[in-house]
Amino acid sequence: MKQSRLIISILVFGYAFLYIPLVSVIFYSFNDSRLATVWGGFSTRWYGELFRNDQILDAMFLSLRIAATSATFATILGTMAGLILVRFGRFRGRALFSGMITSPLVMPEVITGLSLLLLFVSLQQLIGWPGQRGFSTITIAHTTFSMAYVAVVVRSRLAAMDESLEEAAMDLGCGPLRVIFDITLPLIAPAMVAGWLLAFTLSLDDLVIASFVSGPGSSTLPMYIFSKVKLGVTPDINALASLIILFVSVGLLLSWATMRKRSA
């Protein structure tokens, strides 16, 4: 079907709206001037400074550790939740369960962050744990909200899947646990990988919740970036942003191209 001119111009405008800010950050990251918005000639010096900045490297390392750990927990818990919702039929408390698993998707971050911090403070008063807030508390917080995303991804994959393979295995005498491990899980593996990646990114991305539940001395990468950009545009953050934009774009475009080739 041929597209109307109006639709095409809105599409062009919409994509320009989405991408011009990103392109402008990349452009200014090569600006020699310390005043980030005045052009002072081409330079790559901010990239060099990035790798000599220990604070950035420490924060990045902490963020990556939290993201990998929380994404793994979230994938395990979220896959269980997805299986429960699609394959387990009715059980007591199902309505509450499905409510709890979908609410974190839209819950404002300030509420999630505040509520979890108050939980950790109360727990510390009652049982002495967590003694210190940092890696473990941020990981728990991230697991809780990203397992909801994994559950959504896994659930839609399960819902679209044909149950006949699982039924055939059952008919051939497979126990229900073996069916899950030998048939269901391998079939939903792509959804689990996608869910893990999503959880990983969400965790790397989070500023507000981490600000609430972290303690002194443990700054994640977004917390470090926020403390710098509060004061305005800075050239080294431009360089960092550009690296992230390029890394993500190349990764996604490559995976898109391989998938397209495979499906063609």
Residue 69 or 144: the one with the smaller Cβ distance to another protein is 144
Q: Which residues contact 43 (CB under 8 A, 6 or more apart)?
A: 30, 31, 32
In whole angstroms, how close is the CB of 44 to another protein at the nearest point?
Answer: 18
User: What are the residue ranges of helices labelled H in the chain?
Assistant: 5-29, 45-52, 54-87, 94-102, 109-127, 135-160, 164-171, 176-179, 185-205, 208-213, 221-229, 235-263
Measured distance CA(250)–CA(256) in Å, rounded: 10
In whole angstroms, how close is the CB of 172 to another protein at the nearest point?
Answer: 19
189: tokens are 């593996």
Residue 57 or 121: the one with the smaller Cβ distance to another protein is 121
**Closest to 78 in 3D by CA, of 164, 202, 168:** 202
137: tokens are 């508390």
In whole angstroms, how close is the CB of 164 to another protein at the nearest point?
Answer: 18
Question: Peptide bond before 222: cis, by omega within 30 degrees of 0?
Answer: no
In whole angstroms, how close is the CB of 235 to another protein at the nearest point?
Answer: 10
In whole angstroms, how close is the CB of 168 to another protein at the nearest point?
Answer: 20
Residue 38 or 172: the one with the smaller Cβ distance to another protein is 38
Residue 64 or 244: the one with the smaller Cβ distance to another protein is 244
Residue 172 or 177: the one with the smaller Cβ distance to another protein is 177
In whole angstroms, how close is the CB of 139 to another protein at the nearest point?
Answer: 11
Measured distance CA(196)–CA(151) in Å, rounded: 11
**Closest to 212 in 3D by CA, of 110, 136, 144:** 110
